[in-house]
Amino acid sequence: MLRESLLVLRDLSTAPWSVLLTSGPVLTISVILITILLFCALHKLTVQQRVPHIREGDGSGEAQSEEKSKKHPSRYPAVDYWRGMCISFVVMYHMVGNFRINGLIPSGFRGVNYSDPCPKWNYFTFFLYYVVFQTACHLGRFVSPYLHYILFTPCTVYCICLWWRESQVAGVAMLQVCVGLSQALANRGRIIKWKGVFHRTIKLAVFAAMLSAYTFYRFPESPIVFGALHCICLNSLLCLPFVKYPHLALPGFLFCQLYTMLIGTFPLEVDIDRPSLDVMPWFSNLGFCLLGVWLHDRQVH
């Protein structure tokens, strides 16, 4: 009798902790804190890499360094920041998505159903809120660079939870802009470096094929036939002519977006209604790649 009573007391004492530790809010807060710590640690570890390469020295050496850096700039901080922000956004989106699928976050968010129309006003509201939050994060850098990381993570998670469908579209669009911008940077001077293009395309194609093969084996009812990696691989090739003729990139972007909004699905588009863990329309996203090419041509980077 005493033993049974002790077992009951032990179950009562451990059950609440077990429920608490596996609850959605606790897991979300824990991941946010871990992400903030990783950002801060990465910032601390890469301080030397962000130090300007031009050191103070004699006038001739400094002039030569400046001339060399102008001809062959090694990195573009704005582009690196944009890439990092996009990757962080996508990671947080999938984190919230996993919690949502496993029932760790209260239901009530709009599901991701490509067939259901999404009011365009929602995208504007999401964009407005996200810009306000990101502006607040940047203002935090004037106090401390670590404050930027502390604000960025919870603000991004909040926007994703509040605008689930819009966050997915925004994350994909930002990545596609990065694809076009990176392709233009890799082929500077409007000269296509085919060796580099071949190597990057092979890597993307291999990873995309491996992902499709795994999902066909693991999830035969909803495999990934044409997902994000497939879309990036295809669009990185389709935007090459616009890298050579960047003045056509902005008209191409407008054509892709207007065609999608006014006419609908492009005839050669993938079937977005088929059961799949990830399906990515390539035509509308090609427009965002072309926008990245145009931004590079305008020296926005």
pLDDT, tens digit (0-9, with 9 covering 90-100), for 40-83? 777 777 666 655 544 444 444 444 444 444 555 556 777 887 88
User: What are φ and ψ of residue 168, in 5° steps?
Assistant: -65, -50
Confidence (pLDDT) at 122:
61
Please report the DSSP string for 55-69 in residue order: -S--HHHHHHHHHHH
Confidence (pLDDT) at 52:
53
CA atoms within 13 A on the CB side of 64: 5
> Long-range pairs for 120-124 at CB < 8 Å and ≥24 separation?
122/163, 122/165, 122/166, 123/166, 123/169, 123/170
| 285 vs 66: CA distance, rounded Å | 38
Confidence (pLDDT) at 4:
46
Distance from the Cα of residue 208 to its chain's centroid? 17
Q: Which residues of the chain have pLDDT under 50?
A: 1-21, 53-69, 108, 110-115
pLDDT, tens digit (0-9, with 9 covering 90-100), for 183-216? 988 888 888 888 888 999 999 999 999 999 999 9
Which residue ranges make up each domain of the chain? 76-297
Pull the structure tokens for residue 130: 């996200």
State the alpha helices, DSSP H only, in 141-193: 145-162, 164-186
Confidence (pLDDT) at 25:
64
